[in-house]
Amino acid sequence: MLNFLKEIFGSADPPPAPLLDKPWRQINWGDKQSVLQYVKDYRPQIKGLELRILVHGPAGAGKSSFINSVQTTMHGRSCTLALADSISHDSFTKKYATYKIQKESPQSFYPFVFSDIMGLEPTNGVQVDDIKLALKGHVKDGYRFKPKSPLAEGDQFYNTTPTVNDKVHILVCVFDAKSVSLMTSGDADLTVQKIQNIRMEATNLGIPQVAILTKIDEACREIKQDLKNVYKSKSLKKKMEQFSAEVGIPMNCIFPVKNYHEEIDPDSEVDSLLLSALKHIINFGEDGVNLKLSQSEC
């Protein structure tokens, strides 16, 4: 009888729940201070090393905003270290720039730096060859990217003798979570191919790689309602799995975050995700440097 009624009136089964019963990855939301202190206490094993973190990704994904958000989290107040734009869909960053985060004492900085570059675009934006040069430390600060031609030897911004601190120690791909579902369509596929090309070069150089998925609150209604749903959201987990499959970065190296955008004061939950990502970025970068050092001593 029940089946007969369903045939007549249709199934009344409720839609699947958008959230998992339990988070598939743990974040200690109530104790950001321990992770913050871990980051502040970081000291590279190699004396004098500045761990260089190169952020790259499509224009508008939130690369500069991620750098600013990290500084906001570290300082406990709103900061704008790297200029960012919320209107244009083209890359706002035009020059190669290195950003240091100052400690509480003047003229003292944390031993990790961020390098920001022009955004990847399907037929424009930063040249893949320029990013490959940056990975090897050949690009000097202040170099203005030229979408039609890469940096050449002999240019005043070409570093012929890069030091260990000029070279990139970890590569961070920043991608908009809202755009993951469009990765294989049209021009977006060309951007993915560029990311894969850059990733291959980094792999050949022994540089660890992670990914940051931004704008997660805009990509998922349940996360917008409560940021703590980030690892319960079925749709976000699916986006992370798709991104991993397309780009090749393992799931345990992909970190969803919410950059500071509208907020003018720090938020504990926003900080928790940012600090979790930063902690792993530092750890992976340090592991990569130490592995290279051990191999060179063999």
Residues 249-297: pLDDT tens digits? 999 999 999 999 888 788 999 999 999 999 999 999 999 999 887 777 6
Amino acid (1-letter code) at residue 3: N
C-alpha R_g of the chain = 21
Q: Which CATH class is domain 50-293?
A: alpha beta
Question: Which element (helix H / strand E) includes 102?
Answer: strand 97-102
If you average pLDDT over residues 206-219, what whole number do you get?
97
Domain positions in the chain are 50-293
pLDDT for 77:
86
Picking from 216, 266, 273, the residue whose alpha carbon sits closest to that of residue 77 is 266
At residue 88, the pLDDT reads 45
The pLDDT confidence band at residue 79, using thresholds 50, 70 and 90, is: confident
Give yes or no for residue 175 having a pLDDT over 90. Answer: yes
**Helix/strand/coil percentages in the chain, nearest 5:** 40, 15, 45
Predicted pLDDT of residue 297: 64
Hey, what are 9's tokens?
Answer: 């009136």
What's the pLDDT score for residue 295? Answer: 77
Query: How far is C-alpha 279 from the geometric centre of its chain's CA atoms?
Result: 12
Model confidence at 221, pLDDT cuts 50, 70, 90, reads: very high
Mean per-residue pLDDT, 78-96:
60
According to the model, what pLDDT value does residue 86 have? 46
Q: What is the pLDDT of residues 121-152, one digit of tens each?
A: 877 788 999 999 999 999 999 999 988 889 99
**pLDDT, mean of residues 1-24:** 72
Q: pLDDT digits over 22-48, tens only?
A: 999 999 898 899 999 999 999 999 999
Percentage above 70 pLDDT, the chain: 90
Residue 37: exposed, middle, or buried by beta-carbon count in 10 A (0-12, 13-18, 19+)?
exposed
Per-residue confidence band for 248, with pLDDT thresholds at 50, 70 and 90: very high
The percentage of residues in the chain with a pLDDT greater than 90, rounded to a whole number, is: 71
**DSSP sequence for 168-213:** -SEEEEEEEGGGGGGTTSTHHHHHHHHHHHHHHHHHHTT--EEEEE
Average pLDDT taken over every residue of the chain? 89
With a cut of 70, say whether residue 245 has pLDDT above it. yes
**What pLDDT, on the 0 to 100 scale, is given for residue 1?**
53
